Structure 1
Amino acid sequence: MSTKQSTLNRIRQALGMETQNEWPTVARERLVTYALLGIYVVVIWFPIYYIFITSIKPSSEVLSVPITFIPQQPTVQNYVDIFANRPFEHYTFNSVIVATTTTVICVTLGTLTGYSFSRFDFFGNKTLLLSIVGARMIPPIALIVPFFQIMSNPPLIGGFTGSLYDTRVALILTYTFFNLPFAVWIMKNYFDGVPESLDEQAKIDGCSTWEAFFKIILPMAKPGIAATAILAFIFSWNEFVFALVLTSSEVSQTLPIAVSLFVADDFVDWAHLAAGGIIAALPGILFGLFFQQYIVSGLTQGAVKE
C-alpha cells in the first residue's frame, strides 16, 4: 500500500470510517436523512404557504380550476377589506387583551405555586399538586355548560350581581382555569432542576426566603418563565370553543371567532378567510420561529436529575 493511500485510510479511521467502502454508505445515509427532512418541512409548511397565497389572490382566482400555487395577480386587497368592512382591529384588540392578561396571571401564579411545590414539603403536597394538574385532564368540552352557567349567573362576590357573559373577563377567567395547571407543572419541574443549595447559600449570606427567590432563583428560571408565557399566550390566543360559547358580539369576541364569521351557511369567503387566518396565526408562527429554544429548554429542564 502506498504512503498516500495509508494516509487516506488513517484520515478515514479518524473520522470513524474504517475503509473506503464506507464513503458511499455515509453519503446515502445523509441523502436519505436530508430527503426525509425535506419531505417533513414541505408537509409542515405547505398548509401555511397555501393559506398565504390564497390570502393574496383575488376571489376569482381562488375558485379557478386548475388550482394555482403561485398567484397570477397577487394583491393585498383582502387584508384591506377585512379591516375596512369588519371591525377586525377590535377583534385583534380583544385577543391581545385576553391573551396578555391570561398570560400574566398564569405566569405570576404558576411561578409562585411551582416554586412552593418544588421547595416546601407540606402536608398534602403531592395530593394538592395532583389535583391541580388533574383539573387540566378534564376534556374542556365537558365544562362548557358549567362555565356558561357560571358566567351567565355568577355567584355574589363583593356585592357584584351582573352577568359576565359576553365580556373579556369571562374569557380571561376561563383561560386562566385551563392554563394555570399547565404553568404550575412547567415551573415546578423547572425549579426541581435548580439546585436547592443555591437557596441555602443565599440564606447563609443573609437573604430571606423571598429575597433568595427573587434575587437568585427567579433570574435562573427565565427560560421556564419564557416557555410558560409563550405557551399560555398561544393557547389563549388560539382558543375557539369557549370564545364562541361565552361571547356573542364584537364587544368581546376574539380573532378566531372573527375568522369563523367568513363561513356562512351557503357560502365561504375563502380569500378573506385566508387573510384573517394568516393574521390570527401570525403570533404563533413568530413565537415558534424565534423563541423555540426557550420552549424546549423550559419544558426539558428538570426532566433529568443528577
Structure 2
Amino acid sequence: MKLLRHGPLGGEKPGLLAADGTIRDLSQAIGDIDAARLSAEGLAEIAALDPMSLPVVDAGVRLGCPVASVGKFIAIGLNFSDHAAESGLPVPKEPVVFMKATSCIVGPNDDVMLPKNSVKTDWEVELGIVIGATARHVSEEKALDCVAGYALIHDVSEREFQIERGGTWDKGKGCDTFGPIGPWLVTKDEVGDVQSLGMWLDVNGTRKQTGTTATMIFSAAHIVSYVSRFMTLEPGDVITTGTPPGVGMGMKPPEFLKAGDVVTLGIDKLGSQRQSVVAFESVYPSAAQ
C-alpha cells in the first residue's frame, strides 16, 4: 500500500494512493496514520478495505508527511563510502547517529526555507524507515519485522551550522522545513528488497545525485538493530539512512542552495518530491497549497 496524508498544513487527513493513480480519502475509516495504525494489525485493517469504494480526493491536493506525529526523527550519517570520501571523512566503523528536530518535518512538495544567515544549505536524497512495532535490542535478523514501511526523505542540511559552528551535527539538520517526507509511506510488501532501490536528486533540472541503496554501508536491517541498542524505537519513529555522493558540499567548487532554486528527488517505488527554495521569513511561511 501507499499511504499518505492530504490537506492543509496542520489539517491533514489520512488517505491512500489507489491502483488507478487516484488519491482516496481514509478519514471515514480510520483516525489517522499514526503510531497505533502502523502496527501489522492496523495496516492489515487498511489493506482489507476496497480502495475504489473510498471517496476520491482532488489530484492537486497538498500532501503532508505520511506519518502523523512522528515520535523521533533519527538520522544516519556517512552511510555511503563515496559520500564519506567526498566529505573528506573516513568510512565509519559503526553507524553515525544524530537527530533531526521533528519541527523540521514538512510535506514532500512544501517549500524549503533557507535559515536566517544561512550560507551553505545543501541537499541530500535519502531512504527513510518508518517503525511500526517497538524495537529494543532487536537482532538484525528480526529488525525488519519492526518496520511498517519506507518513505522518501530530503535530509536538507546547513553545512556551516553542522560543521563549522562547534558541537554536534544536529543544529545544521533540524532547521524549519529541513525534513520533507513523502509523498507516501510504502508498506514493506510493496517495496520488496529495500537494498536495491535507485536514488536521484536534481537541482534546477541538473542531476546532482545518482545512487542506489545497494551501496549503503549499513543496511536498513542493521541500522534498525543498531539504533535499538541505544534507544527504544517506537511506532511512528522515522530513521533517515544516509545519502549517496553528489551533495553540494562535495562539488568543486562547492555549490549550495539559494532562493529561487527548485529541487526534485526520488527513490524507486517510493515516489518523488519537488521543493522550491525560498528566503528566510521571520514568520514561518504557509505550506504550499
The TM-score by the shorter chain falls in which range? Answer: under 0.3
After TM superposition, the score normalised by the length of structure 2 is: 0.24
Q: Report which of the two structures shows the higher radius of gyration computed on alpha carbons.
A: 1
After TM superposition, the score normalised by the length of structure 1 is: 0.23
The structure whose residues are more often helix, as a share, is 1
The structure whose residues are more often strand, as a share, is 2
